[in-house]
Amino acid sequence: SLRLAIVYSSVTGNTEQLAEMIQKAALDQGFRTELYRIEEFSLAAILDYDVVLIGTYTWGSGEIPEEMHSLYQAVEKLGRKEQWTAVFGTGDSFFAEFCGAVDRFRDMLYVKTQLVATLKVELTPQQNDVLRCEKLIELIREKEMQ
C-alpha cells in the first residue's frame, strides 16, 4: 500500500489536532502513515513517501510560517510530477486571507506535483471535521485505484 507522510507546523495546537485527525483517518483506511512536526522531518525523506500531506497555519497577512519555507522550497525545487500531495490547515476567517498559507502551498503544489486534495478548517477542528478528513483520505484511495 501507499506510504503517507503528514508534515505539519502548529503553534497553538489547532493544526496539530487536524494533522492527528487526518492521521487517524489514514490509519483507519489502512495506509502506512507517519506524522512529523516540521522540525522533526528531514527534507530528503520526501522521496521515501508516495504521498506527502502538508499541514500549516497562517500568519502575517495570509502568509506561510517561517518554519515551513524550507519544505515549500524543497518541494518546489524537486518538481516531481509523480509525487502526490495534499495540503491542509487551520486559520481564522477574521483575517482577510483565510488560510492564505494553504492557498499559497496549493498553487505551488498544483504546478509542481499531483495535488490530490486541500482542506481548510476554522481554528480548532470540530467533530464534523472528522468526516472531511475521511473524505480527504478517500480521495487518495480513489486516485490509487485509477
Report the interface residues with ligand FMN, using CB under 6 A. Answer: 10-16, 57-62, 90-92, 95, 97-100, 123
Closest of 123, 122, 130 to residue 24, by C-alpha: 130
Distance CA(31)–CA(16), nearest Å, equals: 19
Nearest-approach distance from CB 104 to ligand FMN, in angstroms: 11
Q: Whose Cβ is closer to ligand FMN: residue 36's or residue 98's?
A: 98
Q: For ligand FMN, give the closer residue by CB, 99 or 116.
A: 99
* CA proximity to 51, closest of 80, 72, 73: 80
Say if strands 84-91 and 32-37 run parallel, antiparallel, or are unpaired: unpaired
- Nearest distance, CB of residue 125 and ligand FMN, angstroms: 9
CA–CA gap between residue 129 and residue 136 (Å, rounded) = 11
We find the least distance from the C-beta atom of residue 112 to ligand FMN, in angstroms, to be: 23
Q: Which is nearer to ligand FMN, 25 or 101 (CB)?
A: 101
